[in-house]
Amino acid sequence: LNTLLLFFLFLALVAAATANPADGPRKCARCGEWITGEYIQAGDKVFHPWCFYCDACGEPITGNYIEHEGKFYHESCYIERFAPRCAYCGKPITGRYVNHEGKVYHDSCYSDHVAPRCVYCGLPIRGRFVENEWGQMVHAGCRDLVRVCDSCGRFIPPGEGRLLPDGRVQCDICRRTAVVSPVRARRIVVSADSILAKKGIHLKTPLEKIRIELIDRNRLESMAGGGGDPHGMHYVRTESRNGRVIHEETTIYLLSDLPEELLLAVAGHELFHVWQHEHGADGGDPAWREGSANVAMFLVLRTLDSDFAAYQRRRLMATEDPVYGDGFRDALNYYRQHGIQEFLRKVVKEVSGPRRD
């Protein structure tokens, strides 16, 4: 009998330990009532079994849970309510993600739909890349493979653009306005002359007496003596008798297939050489001669409100060539400080005399 009593006493002690926390009776963290039977412990809190439910969906929590700011959630409910959302698909992010421009994306969503694509291979750009002034990107390993437009510097995707007979590469954008007609080229020269006249640069020679020719790069480089990247040339053929000039024929050679806005700017450069010749200022210091002609080119470009014209202006400003770059910047600074009339007087003073190049 004593043995049986001891056994029932043992069972009572076990039941008491199961019904209450180890440190004595406690209140349910949900309802605040005393717990007198079975309970569930989550962290340092205890609950009636029926009080331990998800604070999002209200269903009982029977497996893994997540505590957040004192509340408890199914893992799936927590993710749905609190996990960051992909800026592309709107679904919760639980694994790898990409933070791009202040937005987060699933890694796969970013690669498939958001990441910039390499112009050459078409694959997402992740890692080292090269970006041009137009915002186009190529993988660093694709840079030497992609073709670049000779007129605007854009990367040309495979299958696009064209290769000109003289070896130049042209993108489809520049091709749309490429000038191949002599009649159209003359109209552009007339426009350039009008722009320069409004800036205070007036030619004495009537434009109808100036020949305009479109030629390819090979011929232009040959006429220029090789080297460089010529886009135009001004040439004067002179006939003399008894030491006196009796006839002059002026020709402006322009590189064919240039986009219209670039040809307009080049025409401004060459027309300024005509002005220099008319004022005996086509000799002397090459840096001032070519630099001041580039100022005329810059003035033409400044009248154009396009991304292409802005790109060409930046190219002029960044040119490292001591003649066409340093000479241009020196001449432009002088023009900005003193105005057009003093600038023209300076041009005549600096480049008068025999050509030294």
Helix (H) or strand (E) holding 71: strand 71-74
Output the pLDDT for position 228: 60
Under the banding of pLDDT at 50, 70 and 90, the label for residue 306 is very high
Please list the residues that pair with 106 across neighbouring strands. Answer: 97
Q: Which of 38-47, 163-172, 300-309 has the lowest mean pLDDT?
A: 38-47
Quote the DSSP letter at residue 325.
Answer: I
Output the pLDDT for position 126: 87
Q: How far is residue 176's CA from residue 136's CA, in Å, rounded to a whole number?
A: 19
The set of residues, in sequence order, having a beta carbon less than 8 Å from that of 16 and lying 6+ positions away, is none
Res 156 pLDDT > 50: yes
First CA to last CA across the chain, in angstroms?
129
- What residue ranges define each of the domains in the chain, with the CATH number in brackets? 8-82 (2.10.110.10), 116-176 (2.10.110), 182-351 (no CATH)
Under the banding of pLDDT at 50, 70 and 90, the label for residue 226 is low
Res 1 pLDDT > 60: no
Res 332 pLDDT > 90: yes
pLDDT, tens digit, 9 for 90 and up, residues 71-88: 999 988 988 888 899 999
Under the banding of pLDDT at 50, 70 and 90, the label for residue 23 is low
Exposed/middle/buried for residue 264 (C-beta within 10 Å: 0-12, 13-18, 19+): buried
Tokens standing for residue 276: 């220099």
By percentage, how much of the chain surpasses pLDDT 90?
A: 70
Average pLDDT, the chain: 88
pTM to 2 decimals? 0.76
pLDDT, tens digit, 9 for 90 and up, residues 102-141: 999 999 999 999 999 999 999 999 889 999 999 999 999 9
Q: Are 243 and 219 in contact (CB under 8 A)?
A: no
- Residue 35: count other Cβ atoms within 10 Å of its Cβ: 21
Could you tell me what percentage of the chain is helix, strand and coil, using 3-state DSSP and rounding each to the nearest 5? 40, 20, 35
What is the average pLDDT across 253-274?
Answer: 98
- Please report how the helices 307-318 and 260-278 are oriented relative to each other, as an axis angle in degrees rounded to 10: 50
The set of residues, in sequence order, having a beta carbon less than 8 Å from that of 192 and lying 6+ positions away, is 264, 265, 267, 268, 271, 300
Under the banding of pLDDT at 50, 70 and 90, the label for residue 283 is confident
What is the average pLDDT across 166-188?
Answer: 97
